[in-house]
Amino acid sequence: MLGQSAMESSAPREVIREVILYWELRRIWYNAILGAVVVAWVVLTWPHFRVAMTPHALPYLAVLALLANLCYCAAYLAEVPLELSSFRTAWQCWRWTLWLGGTLVAFVLANYWIADEIYPYVH
């Protein structure tokens, strides 16, 4: 009986460990894609953004990057309950769609934010 309860308590830990490993490896690609969006905007509109490229802008960029990564953590809200449910096997075949969908939403939001909230106000 004691051995069984020890196994039950380690199973969720192993699931959480696997979930973290899965999502944190993909966070690199998520950040690379959003970083590419920012670099593309700056490069393609260089004369416009040139005046904004100062050390003063770095804290703002850091806050936006932090917020983007905070949004990425929302995947855990869907992932952990599904991994601990009876749908685990089926979910593992389809969870890449959550990453892809979330990354596409972040891509669209980053472009919108830059185009509507940042670009017009850079002088």
Domain ranges (residues) in the chain: 2-121
Q: Is 42 left (phi over 0), alpha (psi -120 to 50) or beta?
A: alpha
pLDDT band (50, 70, 90) for residue 5:
very low
Q: How far apart are the C-alpha atoms of 120 and 115, rounded to whole Å?
A: 7
Other beta carbons within 10 angstroms of residue 3's beta carbon come to 7
Residue 6 in this model has a pLDDT that exceeds 50: no
pTM of the model: 0.86
Nearest to 102 by CA among 36, 27, 11: 27
Residue 59's Cβ-count burial label (10 Å; 0-12, 13-18, 19+) is exposed
pLDDT band at 7 (very low <50, low <70, confident <90, very high): very low
In eight-state DSSP terms, residue 56 is G
Residue 49 scores a pLDDT above 80: yes
The H or E element that residue 114 is part of is none
**Within a 10 A sphere around the Cβ of 106, how many other Cβ atoms?**
19
